[in-house]
Amino acid sequence: MNESIERAAEALRNAKRVAVLTGAGVSAESGVPTFRASDGLWEGHRIEDVATPTGFARDPELVWKFYNARRANVATVTPNPGHLALVKLEEHFGDRFTLVTQNVDGLHQQAGSRNVLEIHGSLRETRCLGCAKVEHRGLEVLEDRPVCPHCGGWLRPNIVWFHEMLPEKIWTDAQYAAGLCDVLLVVGTSAMVYPAASLIPIAKSTRDRGATIIECNLTPTAASREADIGLYGPSGETLPGLLDSLNPQSAIRNR
Ligand code: APR
C-alpha cells in the first residue's frame, strides 16, 4: 500500500490538472448507505419503483417517502476524512481541480469543496413539474407530496433517475474535466452506471498519453482494469494518507 500511495502522490506531483470522480463509497464512512452493497439502498427497493420517471408517475408518494428518508439520513451525518482530504487536494491545485460526483448528498460542499459537479442532481433540491423552477431546499422536512410554493405544481426531487439525461451543461463540464486532466482519482464507485463511468475511458484516451487513473475503493471494481494505481481500503483512510504523502509539510503542520 505504501508503495502505491507513493506512486499516486508522485503522479499528483507531476500533474497540472486533476479531476476526481466520486461515488457512494466516499460517503459510506459518514453513515450514508451505498447502493449495491448487500445492505445497500437498492436492496429493499426496486429501482423501477423509486428511481425512474415512470415509478414517480405511478406512485409519487412512495418516491417522496424514499427521498425524504434519504434526506433525513443525510441531515444526521457529517463529512468524513475522505471528503476533507479532497478539500485539501482542491486547495493544492486551485482552479486546476474539478470534483465530479455521482452523489446527491451534498457532503463534498458541506466539507468545503468548491468546484463540484453534481452529475446526478441533489437531494437538497426540488424541481417543479409545472414551472420547472429548481429550488435549493436544504434538508428541511418536506411533505410526502410537496407542491411548488410559486405555481402550486407538483414537485419532484431534483435527482437524475434511471432512463433520464444528465444535466447538459454539468455533464459537458465533467467530460471536459476528464478529458483535460493528467490524473483522475476514481473514489468509492462501482463504476457500473453510465454515462458517469465513461469519464474513466475519456480521461484515459483523449490526451496524447492519457491521464493516470488512481482508483480508491474497498475492493477492485469494473474500473480496475483501466486503473494505473489502486489504493484499496476505506477512502477515509487512503485519501488522507495520499494527501500526507503529497504534501508532508502540511501533514506535519496539521497534526
Ligand atoms: N471507501 C471506499 N470505497 C467504498 C467504501 C469506503 N469506505 N465503502 C464502499 N465503497 C465502495 C464499494 O466497494 C463500491 O464499489 O463504493 C462503491 C459503491 O458502489 P455503488 O453502491 O454502486 O454506488 P455508486 O457507484 O455511487 O453508484 C452509482 O448508481 O444507483 C445509482 O444514481 C445512483 O449515483 C448512483 C450510481
pLDDT tens-digit map of 18-77: 999 999 999 999 999 999 888 787 778 889 999 999 999 999 999 999 999 999 999 999
The pTM of this model reads 0.95
Ligand 1 atom at minimal distance to the Cα of residue 190? 15
24: Cβ below 6 Å to ligand 1? yes
Cβ–ligand 1 distance for 234 under 6 Å, the answer: yes
What's the CA gap between 21 and 61, in Å, rounded? 32
Q: Return the best residue to mutate from 80, 218, 219 for the ligand 1 pocket (most ligand atoms within 8 A of CB).
A: 218
Q: What is the pLDDT of residue 141?
A: 87
For residue 162, give the nearest of 43, 56, 4 by alpha carbon. 56
- The residues carrying an active-site annotation are 120
Nearest CA to ligand 1 atom 36: 193
- Pairing type for strands 229-232 and 116-118 reads unpaired
Structural contact between residues 22 and 188, judged by C-beta atoms closer than 8 angstroms: yes
Give the pLDDT score at 253. Answer: 42
pLDDT at 98: 98
Atom of ligand 1 nearest to the CA of 103: 34
Low-confidence ranges of the chain (pLDDT < 50): 252-255
* Atom 1, ligand 1: residue with shortest CA distance: 234
Cβ of 98 closer than 6 Å to ligand 1, yes or no, is no
